[in-house]
Structure 1
Amino acid sequence: MSETVLRPGDDLRRPDVPAAAALHLRAFPAFFMASLGAPFLREFYHGFVDDPDAVTVVGRADDGRLLGVVVGTLDPGRFFGRLLRRRGLRFAAVGALAAVRRPRTAVRLLRAVAYRGEVPGDASGALLNSICVDPTAEHAGHGRRLIAAWWDRARERGATSAFLVTDATGNDRVNDFYRRAGWTLVDAYTTPEGRRMNRYRRSVLDRR
């Protein structure tokens, strides 16, 4: 068996999409997007491949296996508008299957499909949508290297700030990760479904 060494640097490529979806399921089995299933996640990750506003970084083991992936966009409104035009019918089809299996997800699914990066308050700059690392490779600094590589790449492409949102409740490990990685908690808000969300920000003015 090869050593587990995550090497960030490559962009997400089309052949990586099934592995990225499977990795997301392993990393976040109890979260909403995972509850929509692998077909929905494959459509989600496909949307970042070759998009002009997408910023993606993957990490691989020495044997080429995908061990980590982080995706985001320089212009959330433009990116998600284009995503709906390009893949909206596919999202609707796979989302309908998920809603049949779990009817309680239907309302949140509609909001997810219509999402354009909006959050309450002053949310400007690039958006980091998702980061996940294979659970077998956690606790070795891989996630911090991945998110640092994503931020470096976003800055190289002109971003001066970025933000992300994550659950505020029952999500201490993830919140701690973002703080340790140099992101600053700027505010919190509650979604229409009652989820409490934290918003983090990163800027070129940060000293870290």
Structure 2
Amino acid sequence: MKITKIEKKIPVGFIDVHNQAFCGFFLTSLGTKFLKLYYSSVLKSPKGLVLCLQDDIGTILGFAAGTTYSKGFLKNILFHNFFSYVWVLFTGCISRPKAIYRLLNNLKKGGDKNVDFGDYAELLSIAVPPQYKGLGYGKLLLQAFEIELLKLETRKSTLTTDYFDNEGVIAFYKNMGYEIFYDFISYPNRRMYKFIKNL
């Protein structure tokens, strides 16, 4: 078993892991083509960071994806892949205009601009399939993500998670040293926590 920093392209099975880990989530509902484009955009960005946990035969057991500098990151990857996103969104969501509106609305990420300057790294996604839950893979991935940030002399990392009905995940992040930065409402009416950690 090893954790690898992905450099070139999203490996086979990566999107399947996302779909298993985030069944029923909004991003998952946008479809496989969108997810491939999204994670490829993160990977291509100079500020993107993607790690994979794989077993000895290459099966993906989990992944972590994020950015080394959060401010403007999502808008930046959208801008640099604009026509690809337009094509994927309008062909995949033409009958769901509210989905496009929600996606664009959530680029703002909420929060008080007086206290949140975006001058930190951000874990955008950490995924472990249900059959591997409880084995410590999420902890390994989060620790590896933080180690990569420290190599770049990045001293703060953040993440966002649900406010309600999410006690296990919240406890996990607190045990990993994360503290509540603030909470906010994302579109349409979803209350979220923003966590932060000094590395």
TM-score higher than 0.5: yes
Return the offset for 1:92: 1.9
Q: Measure the CA separation in 2 of the matches of 1:12 and 1:20.
A: 14
Task: Say yes or no: does 1:41 pair with 2:35.
Answer: yes
**Which residue of structure 2 aligns with residue 67 of structure 1?**
61
Return the offset for 1:117: 6.0
Task: Say yes or no: does 1:92 pair with 2:86.
Answer: yes
CA contact (8 A) 2:120 2:155 kept: yes
Task: Say yes or no: does 1:185 pair with 2:180.
Answer: yes
Q: Measure the CA separation in 2 of the matches of 1:85 and 1:104.
A: 21
Return the offset for 1:82: 3.3
RMSD: 2.1
| Larger displacement relative to structure 2 (166-175 or 64-73) | 166-175
Q: Counterpart of 2:47 in structure 1: which amino acid?
A: D
Q: Counterpart of 1:200 in structure 2: which amino acid?
A: F
Q: Measure the CA separation in 2 of the matches of 1:41 and 1:8.
A: 21
Instruction: Give TM-score, length-normalised by structure 2.
Output: 0.87
1:73-128 CA distance string (max 9 Å, x none): 1222353343123212212222223433544423212224xx26664342431111
SS at match of 2:142: helix
Match of 1:134 among 123, 126, 129: 129
Could you say if the C-alpha distance between residues 127 and 66 of structure 1 is closer, same or farther in structure 2, counting changes exceeding 3 Å?
same
Q: Counterpart of 1:190 in structure 2: which amino acid?
A: I
Task: Say yes or no: does 1:57 pair with 2:51.
Answer: yes
1:141-156 map, 5 Å: 141-156=136-151
SS at match of 2:24: coil
Could you say if the C-alpha distance between residues 173 and 30 of structure 1 is closer, same or farther in structure 2, counting changes exceeding 3 Å?
farther
Structure 2 regions of 5+ residues with no counterpart? none
Q: Counterpart of 2:171 in structure 1: which amino acid?
A: D
1:23-42 map, 5 Å: 23-42=17-36
**Which residue of structure 1 aligns with residue 6 of structure 2?**
11
Could you say if the C-alpha distance between residues 66 and 79 of structure 1 is closer, same or farther in structure 2, counting changes exceeding 3 Å?
same
Task: Say yes or no: does 1:111 pair with 2:105.
Answer: yes
Count, aligned residues? 196
Q: Measure the CA separation in 1 of the matches of 2:8 and 2:192.
A: 30
